[in-house]
Chain A
Amino acid sequence: MQQNELNRQLSRIQAKLTGIDRKAGNRVFLSCEAENVYAVCRFLFSELGLRFVISTGIDATDCFEVLHHFSNDESGCVVTVKAFVRNRESPELDSITPLIPGAEWIEREMHDLLGITFRNHPNLERLILADDWPEGVYPLRKEVQT
């Protein structure tokens, strides 16, 4: 899919988004609320056939951000879905692993390191943290000092 076509297709999902931000030519950031993340990722992965790259979990102090990065290899464009998880007490959003098995590890990792729960994840076991790591301590949160 060429870049023009990608841009045209992305406007189809606009109703689920809170913003489309284009940067540096071939970087697109799609912002959405946590409840829409599955629908947006399904559109990118299943309908547009973009390749899943990885996800980034961020402790943005007032909320959590979960970024799912996709790549449209034909135009070299990285499309990032930026989901805002507003509930800091019990951060939760839908897992995309049922759709993309390649996301299993990174969602488990974000669960370990940031304490974000992924609904419908098939196996939300520990991946990064040791078995004897204390419950409720999430090393990538900003309050944890290095």
Chain B
Amino acid sequence: MAQIFAYIRHKDGVADDSALELVNAAKQIDSGAAATAVVTGSGAELEAVCSQVAASYAQVWKVDHAALAYPNAELVRKALLKLLPATGILLVAHDTFGMDLSPGLAVKMNLPFVSDVIAMDSLDGTALKLVRQEYGGMAHTHVTCDTAAGAVINTRAGAFAPDESKAAAGQVVDKSGAVGDLAATRAFLEVVAAEAGDVDITKSDVLVSIGRGIEDQENIELAEELAQAMGAVVSCSRPIVDAKWLEKARQVGTSGQTVKPKVYMALGISGSFQHLGGIKGNPFMIAVNKNPKAPIFQVADVGIVADILEFMPELTEKIAK
């Protein structure tokens, strides 16, 4: 039976959503295995997270160290190198921390590393078959690796459903002592918060979200007019912010804001996972896109193949009547 570990991310004493997703990821690899959660941090916040996570994992390894108060990938790696057995399979969420941690960790442990996994088969002996995407999500691939010596696997946010059962009643084990001294060649200074824009899109129930299909900065006016007619707020995907047409605070996505609206209009948005990763709570989604093959139509509730530059003014007019 495989020994599976899940690295738990947390903030302000609350575990990240990925913690519950990794439970199911572990079950997918080996339904009988009891995964062990590994949580690093310090103080009361760490305690809170460990208790929270104990409801979902059979075992929780707590690593309390002052140097780990802010998750520094280099130090976490050093800690894990001391803690993890040589043949374990480590699951990590593929977020900005997972990208920082996992590749180097896999090398140091001389293990196969598979990044940004969206699906897995169960173990076939020690062989593991996984699904990844390439070319910006336009192609899917099956990859395989031998986990006899272990593996490090990063899973994409939302790829695995969260396990809400909370039936584990796990033990919290203090492994802080095993870690020893931690010194780093990279020192955390501070987090610079994103500039708060004039509008907080996370507070709006209804979002009119625009993507590359808007084509021109001047067409954003049409979205503003529609939003106004609907009593909604305009948000956008990353390319709009990269082009500096809207401020960063308007971006919905994994590198932008996380929103939980009731209704989400995805206009001219292709539906990349980075964008969808910022939408939580399963809102009612209406997608409009010129391309009938756009991935957004897979996740939207209602889809329309049309030019948003025609759709927006028409809808605005109808609402006004």
Do A and B bind?
A: no
Q: Name B's A-contacting residues (CB within 8 A).
A: none
Q: Name A's B-contacting residues (CB within 8 A).
A: none
